[in-house]
Structure 1
């Protein structure tokens, strides 16, 4: 059994595959003979259920944020979307986390579908916008789950207002433009990279090969993710550099996909080795959109983490 503060390698059969879990400060090499994975072919994930939680606008300090909220008396989980998404992408997570007893909130950052456009003269930060939304919803502390660009916001918020964060999950994310991180992903800085379709950049070959319906819906949600707003990302707040995240003291989980072309596992491994007592889960045959490609494994990794670290 995993024990916080110790580093172990656990290969566990999961739903449709296996997940590699690392926790603690140093990794021990696992014997090759123990690295057995389910060799059965992946089955396409069913399309996500519709979002059913009530949605509305939070009118904050000169801007609006579109959000949905399942309500309930359980601890709050706030979902922070990637740059290619919006608050509409969390169909796989909303019902699953609510069924586990949590109050689940998803929202669109400024410049994304349903929320206000960014104001170049007064852009604010996405971390402070999150603070204002939590104040608006009267949420003092929350579990934060950030994917990709949403991880920038989650980590910056956790650095600035640590007392308001129960746990933080950072999935498939760079966290900041730290040179140590960029050195591990040279391809994304090449001119040809920007010409690749987003679904090629973000969805694994396995997913694109077996789930054409899911790929089409992902592309549709991406096409709608900005609404009528022009492209561009709001500043996150305090940069979550490698040096900065060493200050994080709340329980932290890093999630990576083994086929992530943007933030491959060495990036998440660097973060997990930096944040004392953190954990790392690597999802098999999974690209940059882990919440979408392997939702059952993604959700279970987070729920198991919350149960284990808050027991």
Structure 2
């Protein structure tokens, strides 16, 4: 891959309506492109917010989708609350408020964990689901030990761009890395909120997902390298797996053309 292939100017966004959506005990910042096409809900990483989808929003909208992005509690525009609530229940309340009965879900990193939990609890509300660049939050003891062994002590305290962005991207696109870091710094103004789950998330739970699932990983992802994604694929019969080359934990930002092509091909399938 050439250096030029790693440098992607942000496309112009399409118009979207911004609003605060009430959920039990709080409000979520949300944007919605509207339209009559199938809905796609974007679930941001733990380092992000509704603002991190600049490479996806216009592309999905141009393909005819109604694109919805929102911030979970404690992230940009969505105040933290005394009761952190449940992220899957918040998503259900958001869809109800927007009049969306069923949607495609695209979750990255921590957002993929929320999508996983939501799909277990509300399977009839999920058409197709993309789970990208995530350790999936699996609670199996052997998997948790394996996952923890991949990163040294103190890794979570290392700079965000080192943890999340692959070295190829940081070397070839320092301006893009700086733009990503600015979004990360703005994403969580008052500290991360740990929300409740509705389900135990383990390999058996992956096997209960009935909707079509696309797994997308990066070959330089320090959180979930390709062998970890193959664990997920084996636990998810019928799932599809795409591994992007020279890509870290932020595939939607580092490799947007390849990422978007995989997502559009998957969502567009009948």
TM-score where L is the length of structure 1: 0.82
Matched-pair contact (CA < 8 Å) for 2:151–2:222: no
Q: Which runs of 5+ in 2 are unaligned?
A: none
Q: Tell me the equivalent position of 1:217.
A: 179
Q: Tell me the equivalent position of 2:129.
A: 168
Matched-pair contact (CA < 8 Å) for 1:53–1:68: yes
Pairing 1:197–2:159 present: yes
Q: Tell me the equivalent position of 2:44.
A: 81
Residue 279 of structure 1: CA displacement? 0.3
Aligned equivalent of 2:205, options 244, 247, 250: 244
SS of 1:185's equivalent in the other structure is helix
Return closer, same or farther for 1:204/1:215 CA change in 2, 3 Å cut-off: same
Q: Tell me the equivalent position of 2:263.
A: 302
Q: Which runs of 5+ in 1 are unaligned?
A: 1-38
Matched-pair contact (CA < 8 Å) for 1:74–1:102: yes
RMSD: 1.6
Residue 132 of structure 1: CA displacement? 0.2
Matched-pair contact (CA < 8 Å) for 1:47–1:213: no
Q: Tell me the equivalent position of 1:43.
A: 5
SS of 1:43's equivalent in the other structure is helix
Which stretch has the larger CA shift, 98-107 or 60-69?
Answer: 60-69
Alignment deviations for residues 154-208 of structure 1 (CA, whole Å, 9 cap, x no partner) = 0000000101100111001122242343333334663231332111111011000
Aligned equivalent of 2:242, options 281, 287, 290: 281
Residue 55 of structure 1: CA displacement? 1.1
Alignment deviations for residues 6-35 of structure 1 (CA, whole Å, 9 cap, x no partner) = xxxxxxxxxxxxxxxxxxxxxxxxxxxxxx
**Which structure has more helix as a fraction of its residues?**
2
Matched-pair contact (CA < 8 Å) for 1:67–1:106: yes
Aligned equivalent of 1:112, options 43, 56, 75: 75
Structure-2 separation of matches of 1:239 and 1:82:
20
Return closer, same or farther for 1:250/1:224 CA change in 2, 3 Å cut-off: same
Structure-1 separation of matches of 2:200 and 2:151:
19
- Aligned residue pairs total 268
